Structure 1
Amino acid sequence: MATRKKPAASGKKTPSTSTEIPKGRRAGIIGGVRTPFVRAFSEFMLLDTIALAGVATKALLEKTQVPRSELDGIVWGGVILPTLSPNIAREVALDLKLPASVEGYTVTRACASGLQAITDAVSAIERGDADVLIAGGSDSTSNAAVALPNKAVHALAPLAFGKAKGMQDYLGVLSQLMPITDILPAMPKIAERTTGEVMGESAEKMARRNGVTRQEQDALAARSHRLAAAAVASGRFETEVIPVETSKGWVHADTIIRGDTSEEKLAKLRPVFAKDGTVTAGNATPLTDGASCILLMSEEKAEALGFTGLAAFRSWSYVGVDPTDQLLIGPAIAMPRALERAGLELNDVDLVDIHEAFAAQVLSVTKAMESKAFSEERLGRSTAVGTIDDAKFNVHGGSIAIGHPFGATGARIVTTLANELAMSDKETAVLGICAAGGLGAAAVLERV
């Protein structure tokens, strides 16, 4: 039997993600791809989330050369789901004319949706429900539905459902559509339903509470761009980024990365969410379109088909926190729990990747992990989780530089970490993702 390592002796005890996996059932990451990540309303504006998902899935099938007849299903993550066809996974299977038996379902857990899709797929393989699955995520902010105000929807309903019969009915509808300013569509505000705050406002609160300075945020953002640009220049992303054809030509690479940016340039940008604030367009990730996915396979199926895995999951953790407190602090709780379930401490792992929604959020998370008081209060530990070694942290940049299509970030991080583990002879990695609604997610990977 293949057994995950038991939790470490120190710290709060939590149940293992999976204490025992039947022989041959462990799910291995065979490979992963992603589209270039581009700013919303730019190169991918005419490609909706299903189209982007289809491009990535098709490229993954072509790259890995897995027989389509071996594919059991697709698990997908997304945040801005198409109203009329929200099950992206099944739509992709149908669009690509995969065997009718290839089932698919779509999950949503805010910015952790892609990781949720992946861990769902891993669980399905390891409990014997499937042998070969594709898991990933996509989002197209460019194609987010722009809804009419409820006043307009309710007034127009009789017309839409054919209930308005005569001129008097039509005039009655028109009378409800005044003033015109009350019925004009507006772009959706990405705000917390419970607090009304947009995420940038929450990041500002976290920066003030945790003493995160503007200089620290700009330094992290500049580092993200510098390392991502170095990864592009070295060809590091060539194994995972696939070209995408659009009506105006091919897009071959990420378009957000700016290798020539600097702390000095970033310091000139104005705060966005508060006049005296520290969060700017430069130290936060932009709205992004893109897709990413990975191929997962049981050990026994991989051996039978001649595939070699790059990495496998050792543990994962999903947590919730109070959105009115620190909305994006979740990874500071989820990462230690995932590490404990893997039988590891922070200083044991070779790579650490934290999703960079905002530099303020990342730095708040790292400060919390360095705090003994936070560990005692939130984790039941007697010691701090630890300080992240800069040489291990987001070694090829992060979401600030690369971009963040909400549902695609999980598979992007997993793909990059799996490749890095395989290519650099490193053994273990931990990742953390914050998400709307006061959610946090984390996972531990190991080379196989």
Structure 2
Amino acid sequence: MSQALPLITRQGDRIAIVTGLRTPFARQATAFHGVPAIDLGKMVVGEMLARSDIPAEVIEQLVFGQVVQMPEAPNIAREIVLGTGMSVHTDAYSVSRACATSFQAVANVAESLMAGTIRAGIAGGADSSSVLPIGVSKTLARTLVDANKARTLSQKLKLFSRLRPRDLLPVPRRWLNIQPDCGWAIPPSRWRKAGGSPARNRMPWRIVRTSWQRKPGKRVNCPQR
């Protein structure tokens, strides 16, 4: 691990977190059923600005994290800026780093403050397990693309006739690494079976970035995120 840097600006001013807010946690498809992550982000940022004494125009950067990105709005940070009445000139971008996404957003804003490029910023993150992007099978996706290029109705019907019922089933998105053993939410049971202690690795990004013993004489090394 690299040595921690002092959180001060180039002028020697101390960098501090002055306020914070979050929405309540709720079970999937209950209190926030049908509410997308963008609306959750707008809700919490707008309320935080309303409660604090910091004018919205003072905020020069907003960095927001989202693991489950929605295709219709991949840059959640920009949508939050536009949806909360902040200046359209506010620098806004999104980050994704599995379980450490929101912490990465905080680190990015802190680095901007240390570099002197901004005077004040907002960092946060939002995800909704009640509104998820549901995909289609690769076969159906390819058929839809080919059908869009087909010139006649008979060509389109011929393409769709090749589909099987299993090709029409929705494919829920999996938020895993390409490596099957390197998911971003490793359960504690995996650690207990490996002889490790989750208590010594409480932070989820440390768990993801740490190797664990699967079988005697064999180790699995997950790539860093």
Same fold (TM over 0.5): yes
State the Cα distance separating 1:196 from its structure 2 match.
5.1
What's 1:435 paired with?
205
Once the two structures are superposed, the pairs formed by residues 416-435 of structure 1 within 5 Å of their partners are 433-435=203-205
What's 1:364 paired with?
198
Percent identity over the alignment is: 24
Secondary structure at the residue paired with 1:210?
Answer: coil
State the Cα distance separating 1:207 from its structure 2 match.
1.1
Secondary structure at the residue paired with 1:169?
Answer: helix
Distance in 2 (alpha carbons) for counterparts of 1:81 and 1:127: 29
Distance in 1 (alpha carbons) for counterparts of 2:3 and 2:206: 25
What's 2:82 paired with?
94
2:106 to 106, 109, 118: 118
State the Cα distance separating 1:190 from its structure 2 match.
4.3
What's 2:64 paired with?
76
Structure 2 unaligned spans of 5+: 211-225
Kindly indicate which of the two structures has a greater share of residues assigned to strand.
Answer: 1
CA contact (8 A) 1:25 1:128 kept: no
Query: Comparing both chains, which one has the higher relative contact order based on Cα–Cα distances under 8 Å and sequence gaps of 6 or more?
Result: 1
Distance in 1 (alpha carbons) for counterparts of 2:100 and 2:185: 18
What's 2:190 paired with?
205
State the Cα distance separating 1:149 from its structure 2 match.
0.7
* CA spacing shift, 1:139–1:201, aligned 2, 3 Å: closer
CA contact (8 A) 2:175 2:184 kept: yes
Distance in 1 (alpha carbons) for counterparts of 2:156 and 2:34: 35
Whichever residue aligns with residue 71 of structure 2, its letter is T
Runs of 4+ that moved beyond 4 A: 196-202
State the Cα distance separating 1:49 from its structure 2 match.
0.7
Once the two structures are superposed, the pairs formed by residues 175-254 of structure 1 within 5 Å of their partners are 175-177=161-163, 179-195=164-180, 203-210=188-195
**CA displacement, residues 370-422 of structure 1 (integer Å, 9 cap, x when unaligned):** xxxxxxxxxxxxxxxxxxxxxxxxxxxxxxxxxxxxxxxxxxxxxxxxxxxxx
State the Cα distance separating 1:189 from its structure 2 match.
3.6
Query: Given the alignment of the two structures, is residue 148 of structure 1 paired with residue 136 of structure 2, yes or no?
Result: yes
Structure 1 unaligned spans of 5+: 1-13, 212-362, 369-431, 441-448
2:4 to 17, 22, 30: 17
What's 1:279 paired with?
none
CA contact (8 A) 1:78 1:137 kept: yes
TM-score, normalised relative to structure 1: 0.43
State the Cα distance separating 1:77 from its structure 2 match.
0.8
CA contact (8 A) 2:99 2:184 kept: no
Distance in 2 (alpha carbons) for counterparts of 1:76 and 1:155: 36
- The two structures, once aligned, show a CA RMSD in angstroms of 2.4
Range with bigger deviation, 180-189 or 200-209? 200-209
Query: Given the alignment of the two structures, is residue 169 of structure 1 paired with residue 155 of structure 2, yes or no?
Result: yes
TM-score, normalised relative to structure 2: 0.83
Number of residues paired by the alignment? 209
* CA spacing shift, 1:99–1:192, aligned 2, 3 Å: closer
What's 2:14 paired with?
26
1:43 to 31, 52, 56: 31
CA contact (8 A) 1:111 1:436 kept: no
Distance in 1 (alpha carbons) for counterparts of 2:94 and 2:42: 14
**CA displacement, residues 123-145 of structure 1 (integer Å, 9 cap, x when unaligned):** 11111011110101000121110
